[in-house]
Structure 1
Amino acid sequence: MKVTLRTVAEAAGVSIATVDRVLNRREGVRAATVEKVEGAIRRLGYAPSSLAARVQPGAGRFAFVLPQGGNPFYAALEEAVRRLPDWLPFAGTTYDVHHADVFDGYALAASLAVLRGEGYGGIAVVALDHPAVREEINALKRDGIVVATLVSDVPSAARDRYVGIDNTAAGRTAGSLLARFLPGRRGKVALIAGSLALRDHAERRFGFEQVIAQDFPGVEVIAVREGRDDAGRVRVLAADLLAEHPDLAGLYNVGAGTAGAVAALEASGRAREVVFVGHELTEDSRGALMRGTLDAVIAQDPGHEARSAARLMQALASGWPILDDQERIRIDVFLRDNVR
């Protein structure tokens, strides 16, 4: 549904004229009313069409650089990017999607270098924390291009904003859930990451191991493997871990490829014996939750991330104010009991 001025007014319980006064910072509106209107704007993700006329020259073209391959979460994120013109109807604004190998720092940097000469006002990139990527982000900034890192950050680069969850907190959440599900809160657990060169995966591992060390002395982390977010590779790694460790009590899939771990667990006959926690609520993970193979899913909203990245790039390129509360990406936790 397209969010209009009338939608915001109805949600806030005020007139359209009052919403217009709040948007344009006119005097004569009570503070409590301003708070109600701004709260409705944040909840609905409203982008005032009146701002479209204030788009700065060259600021209306934006690019999203997403991983290549069949990752279901990134497929949902790409679909959300393609729907941005419906959600954020700024006249003359376009959002292009480009794919790159985000596991290869030099390949990703080369992809960004090509886009640097394409006239974009802003680029949102799922970034690898790699020296070549950092330098290319810095070069984009020197050329006056807004840069947002998406899902995975490169904090040492001159990027403008990071759009994504707190991945250390996500890892701590996964560790706490997995350990609490273990009988007696004891046993051996293993991790499968996509790549520990991806900062989001490294931070999740850190958070997971931190909470285990602090709060669960009876839990032992015995192995960390890298599956490059490929379901086939993750299946092989999970099957190997199950074969090598008949007493394996828990498994945490840090990145994508959850379907592979699900297949390995179910093929081994130990699906309900091994506590399994993964990321992102996809069709595969939803089914595994329902069957009891997955015990919990840590998730983030790809639609919110796409809209947030677009709003931030547009605001930074055009000099508009940013509502930080609106752009905060939540960590969602799903169990079989709260999946719809």
Structure 2
Amino acid sequence: MRPTVNDIAREAGVSLATVDRVLNARPGVRDKTVRAVNDAIDRLGYVRNVAAANLARQRRYRFLFILPAVQSQFVQALSDAIIESARGPLAEASEVIIATVPQRDPHAIVTVLDDQGDQPIDGCAIMAHETPEVRDLIIRLKEQGTAVVSLITDQPQAPRDHFVGIDNHAAGRTAGILLGRFVGPTPGKVAVVVSSMLARDMVDRRLGFDEVLAERFPHLQALPSLEGHDDRDLTAQITAACLASHENVVAVYVAGAGTRGVNEALRKAGLSGKTVVVAHELTAHTRAGLEDGSIDAVISQDVGHLARSALRVLRANADRLPIDEGQEQIRITILLRENLPATSDSARLAAGDPGEAAA
């Protein structure tokens, strides 16, 4: 027979009420008693049916996703994937809220929680630059007992519970290998376009990229980062200025959003299709760039997997349950014109979970 809460109470020498408080992480129980109850749970092999417990208590979750308010096809695709996931079984008995915050206003994120009213937030997924304001928000959420995951770009200096996204250092190294091999032995300079160096994913990608160029392609010189702040016109302007200021720019690494602006600048300079371009994320624009040859390779991550993983991790942390690390590992995908999935295949992958457990 499966052990019950009565068995736990007898094994730990405490009351049923105390066991209930420990299982539901309610205050008012001494640390020594919490350890005794958890030790009894381990000895008995007790597995709690969280779904049944939540149903009995008629619990509903509130999950908040904080995304940047930027001109980005990728962020829009991510938002759409979150909305789609919110309609599925992962969001059962849950309310999923998406809040957008101006990315270049570090103080705007402070008001996000105040805008949610008096109802508590059970979990929060945050895609934002690594700033003191974001760190303080995460600290505030954790003090309130809210599960927190960083999404796409990590917040390693803050007490978040989990990071949902690819290994961005590895992604930068992958970009370096691809770009170096596409360029070949020709010496030259490489323009590097980022969203902002306040974003941890941009920092990690840049570090990985520079490592590979130094190790494997010393004949290529990576120029200082150009910050486009996810603005197409600004990205086009700074890329054009870089091309005008430096001779022999043989490649461009677009580490964040801004591929449209980069390609616009390359076209005006007569360099489209002649300059190697490696970019990130499969969007309508990068797909078109792969198809017409203006982009050589795209390093992608599945927005559907990102949205579902964030919901799974938030739910598990809210219920204080372990997560399946293998299922939540977001893999890096390298796309070329030759292996570009059909549009219908992309939509299917965004809506379902094929291969996700093995990711």
State the TM-score, normalized to the length of structure 2.
0.77
Paired residue secondary structure (1:191)? strand
State the alpha-carbon separation in 2 of the partners of residues 225 and 116 from structure 1: 39
Is it true that 1:289 corresponds to 2:290 in the alignment?
Answer: yes
Q: After TM superposition, give the deviation of residue 269 of structure 1 in Å.
A: 1.6
Q: Give the aligned partner of residue 316 of structure 2.
A: 315
Q: Give the aligned partner of residue 307 of structure 2.
A: 306
Q: Deviations over 1:275-322 (max 9, x none)?
A: 111111101111111111101111111110110000000111113331
Q: After TM superposition, give the deviation of residue 133 of structure 1 in Å.
A: 1.3
Amino acid at match of 1:300: Q
Paired residue secondary structure (2:129)? coil
Is it true that 1:144 corresponds to 2:145 in the alignment?
Answer: yes
Paired residue secondary structure (1:105)? coil
State the alpha-carbon separation in 1 of the partners of residues 53 and 336 from structure 2: 45
Amino acid at match of 1:216: F
Q: CA 1:57 to 1:108, structure 2 compared with 1: closer, same or farther past 3 Å?
A: farther
Cα pair 2:281 2:299 within 8 Å, conserved: yes
State the alpha-carbon separation in 1 of the partners of residues 340 and 109 from structure 2: 35
Paired residue secondary structure (1:83)? helix
State the alpha-carbon separation in 1 of the partners of residues 305 and 203 from structure 2: 23
Q: Give the aligned partner of residue 177 of structure 2.
A: 176
Q: Give the aligned partner of residue 108 of structure 1.
A: 109
Q: After TM superposition, give the deviation of residue 109 of structure 1 in Å.
A: 3.1
Q: Give the aligned partner of residue 12 of structure 1.
A: none
**Percent sequence identity over matched residues?**
39
Alignment RMSD (CA, Å): 1.9
Cα pair 1:191 1:252 within 8 Å, conserved: yes
Paired residue secondary structure (2:225)? strand
State the alpha-carbon separation in 1 of the partners of residues 127 and 335 from structure 2: 24
Q: CA 1:306 to 1:90, structure 2 compared with 1: closer, same or farther past 3 Å?
A: closer
Paired residue secondary structure (1:184)? coil
Alignment of 1:1-340 (within 5 A): 52-55=51-54, 60-112=61-113, 114-115=115-116, 117-340=118-341
Q: After TM superposition, give the deviation of residue 270 of structure 1 in Å.
A: 0.8
State the TM-score, normalized to the length of structure 1.
0.81
State the alpha-carbon separation in 2 of the partners of residues 262 and 305 from structure 1: 27
Amino acid at match of 1:292: G
State the alpha-carbon separation in 2 of the partners of residues 131 and 116 from structure 1: 24
Q: CA 1:118 to 1:101, structure 2 compared with 1: closer, same or farther past 3 Å?
A: farther
State the alpha-carbon separation in 2 of the partners of residues 133 and 109 from structure 1: 8
Q: After TM superposition, give the deviation of residue 267 of structure 1 in Å.
A: 2.3
Cα pair 2:194 2:225 within 8 Å, conserved: yes
Amino acid at match of 1:178: L
Q: Deviations over 1:149-194 (max 9, x none)?
A: 1001111111111100111111111111111111315211111111
Paired residue secondary structure (2:107)? helix
State the alpha-carbon separation in 2 of the partners of residues 222 and 338 from structure 1: 30
Cα pair 1:124 1:149 within 8 Å, conserved: yes
**Structure 2 stretches of 5 or more lacking a match?**
1-48, 342-359
Amino acid at match of 1:131: P
State the alpha-carbon separation in 1 of the partners of residues 91 and 226 from structure 2: 44
**Structure 1 stretches of 5 or more lacking a match?**
1-49
State the structure with more CA Rg: 2
State the alpha-carbon separation in 1 of the partners of residues 255 and 332 from structure 2: 14
Amino acid at match of 2:224: A
Q: CA 1:183 to 1:147, structure 2 compared with 1: closer, same or farther past 3 Å?
A: same
Amino acid at match of 1:144: G
Amino acid at match of 1:171: G
How many residues in Structure 1 have an aligned counterpart in Structure 2? 291
Q: Deviations over 1:29-84 (max 9, x none)?
A: xxxxxxxxxxxxxxxxxxxxx96444377661101111113210110111111111
